[in-house]
Structure 1
Amino acid sequence: MKAKQLYKQLYFQVIIAIIVGILLGMFYPELGEKMKPLGDGFIKLVKMIIAPVIFITLTLGIAHMTDLKKVGRIAVKAMIYFLTFSTLALVIGLVVGNILQPGHGLNIDPSTLSGDVSQYQQKAHETTLTGFIMNIIPETLFSPLVGENILQVLLVAILMGVALVLTKEKSQKVTEFLQDLSTPVFKIVHMLMKLAPIGAFGAWLSLSENTGFILF
């Protein structure tokens, strides 16, 4: 691949941004706090678009099917896959955290850590199977689209997709609307990915202040 083409590749830009962020963090760790909004802002932008992408993609995927039995199987598989891989990710995280102990030995000031961590830990201990299942059911039909519960988004998308299949002729305009809406939504995704190098740069540079990773 030519060098002219290489620098245009997103993965290459992200790698360079990470390297520059690490180097600047080593020499100028005080820049970490100033650049932190770059990483935090990019993460918030990505989280902003996740729910609409999942909802539109899954709803349209189901709506374009004609076999209701196939729709049911795919809906069940989607929920099972999500639950399975979420559980697998949790298990891997626990195993890696207890065996490898990432971050052990780093000069981290506990006072600089977010207080949200303790809240998540408390919620994890209080969560029961019944509570977990009830948490999948949203308060309203469209509230998952403005929240952060992906399981609720999946549930609403599956229900909406099945409803569009059952009312195919009468709801054709709704399907067409979602199809048209998918174009600008995925354009937003494309635009956000262009900001990935900036987000990576800010995130890695801000690590220098939180971890005390200083060269001198």
Structure 2
Amino acid sequence: MSRIFKSLFGQVVLALVVGVIVGLVWPEQAIKLKPLGDGFIKLIKMLIPFIVFGVVVHGIAGTGDLKRVGRVGIKALIYFEVVTGIALVLGLVLAWVFQPGAGMNIDPSTLDGSALSAYKENAGKLTGGGFTEFALKLIPTTALSGFVSGDVMQVLLVSILFGCALALLGPKGERITSLIEDLSHALFKTMGLLIRLAPLGVLGAIAFTVGKYG
């Protein structure tokens, strides 16, 4: 049993159970734990743009053959579309069968609408102004704008361009490619350290949800 709780999975499960108990027994105190969940999510989101940049740039530049990258990219795109479609259908079926949230004591007027702002903005990119407007919004004002705003699509565009440039440089770009590879290892190690805080994030999020909504 002790081995289970030494693992991250066991700690997360324990935190989830404790969060439910705290939310039911001490709801007023549980609501105050919300910053734990919010802080954990912000820490993870903080690194995502840099990890995307490192992985994409090293992947393209390390291959060295843009034709091969193109073939792999097409296969990855097809795979992504198929798996995403399956996930959407599965999600709709599960939502229809289990109806998550049904019976919860939630007053819609108390919900934080700002939490949906990111989804609304992304939806606007897809629908507002058509494909031309969507494509223009993918182009950042500066190369660093996507990193500052956390727009992963803009970061991805910069990463692809930079990776292709390094690949075209050939041997001259190997030193930069090696540096980015080392940077990626450091970023993943940092992410590993942050993931160790997952139990605290789960505890705060679950305790807040149960304490406020029952």
Distance 1:35 1:14 in 2: 16
Distance 2:89 2:146 in 1: 26
Q: Which has the higher helix share?
A: 2
| TM-score normalised per structure 2 | 0.83
Tell me which amino acid in the other structure corresponds to 1:27.
Answer: V
**Matched residues, percent identical?**
43
What number of residue pairs does the alignment pair up?
A: 210
| TM-score normalised per structure 1 | 0.83
Cα distance change, pair 186–165 in 1 and its aligned pair in 2 (3 A)? same
- RMSD in angstroms over aligned alpha carbons? 2.6
| Structure 1, 64-73 or 37-46: larger mean CA deviation | 64-73
Check conservation: 2:34, 2:208, Cα contact below 8 A: yes
Indicate which of 75, 86, 104 corresponds to 1:106: 104
1:150 aligns with 2:148: no
Deviations, residues 60-82 of structure 1 (Å, cap 9, x unaligned): 11111133211112234445555
| Structure 1, 131-140 or 83-92: larger mean CA deviation | 83-92
Shift of 1:100: 4.1
Task: Structure 1: state its 5+ residue gaps.
Answer: none
| Structure 1, 200-209 or 125-134: larger mean CA deviation | 125-134
What is the 5 A alignment of 1:56-135? Answer: 56-82=54-80, 85=83, 89-90=87-88, 92-94=90-92, 96-97=94-95, 100-116=98-114, 119=117, 120-121=119-120, 124=123, 127-128=126-127, 129-130=130-131, 131-135=133-137
Indicate which of 18, 21, 26 corresponds to 2:19: 21
Task: Structure 2: state its 5+ residue gaps.
Answer: none
Check conservation: 2:26, 2:211, Cα contact below 8 A: no
**Runs of 4+ more than 6 Å apart:** none
Check conservation: 1:56, 1:182, Cα contact below 8 A: yes
| Structure 1, 73-82 or 199-208: larger mean CA deviation | 73-82
Shift of 1:161: 1.5
